Structure formats: structure tokens, C-alpha cells
Structure 1
Amino acid sequence: MNKSFHMMPNGRFINGTPRRCPDGTYVGDGGPITRAPDGTYVAGTPQRAPDGRYLGSGGPVRMAPDGSFVVGPPRMAPDGTYL
């Protein structure tokens, strides 16, 4: 998986190479585009975070320093969010 950050048209950042989902959202390059049980799209196998959101595969779900949940080691994007 590519570990670089990319800025989306809406100003948010994403891990890896962005890929457009059928609903117009974007996911990174952590696996095939997959629809999670809640209807959102993730990269790879959906994993449910403790806050109820679904995240993609690529590592265990972990809590970032700001309290958000990420897959794998938390990394801070240029806008201060954790991915």
C-alpha cells in the first residue's frame, strides 16, 4: 500500500492513491473497493471501528492521539487529521 497523502477535491486527505467509488467518494489503495454493511465504501475488507464507522483493511484498527480511529499506525496528514 502506498503511504503517501493525497488531497481530494473537497480538501480532505487520503492515504495512498485515490480511487473513486460508485457513490462519488474516494478510498485509498489498500485493496479492492468494497461496500461496507452501512453502505459506505472502503478499500479492502471492511472493519468496524469502536465508534461504529467502517474502515478498510491494511492493519488493525487503532485509536489516534485525537481520539479518531484509523487502520494501522496513526499518521498525521498536513491538515492535522490522522489517517
Structure 2
Amino acid sequence: MTEESSEIRILITSDEALVLFEFLRRYSDTDQLNVVDQAEQRALWNLCCIFEKTPVAPFDMEYGQALADARERLRDEE
């Protein structure tokens, strides 16, 4: 499996999914990231905790390069 094709699966509750979906939908509509309810903040914190426990190299010494590479792969082609 190449780095580009690797997947990480996360589990969130249906409440978290609904709250995060609305948060992201609002961002998609307005291009502004604004927390309008404390539940959005909690859902984002919970998601961050999940990512911290997931082996995606956030504490690796090469984190900066891994992040730059991931950003490059995710950008739209020009």
C-alpha cells in the first residue's frame, strides 16, 4: 500500500457526524469557519482526540515534511 492510497478509518457518533456535517456545510456555503454552538467545539475537540490516537505521524520528527507532502497531494491540480 502506498502512502497516497492508505486509508484511516475513524469512528464518531451520529450526533458528532450531524454536528460536524452542519459545521462543514456552513463553511462550504460561507468560506468562514465559525463555531456557533458549543456542541461544534466539543465535536471538533473529540475529532482532534481521535486523530491524536491515530498513527498519522503527528508526533514524528518528520511531521513537517509529512504535512507538506499530504497538503500537496490533496490540493486541486492547477
Provide the TM-score with structure 1 as the length reference.
0.25
Which structure dedicates a bigger proportion of its chain to helix?
2
Which structure dedicates a bigger proportion of its chain to strand?
1
Larger-Rg structure:
2
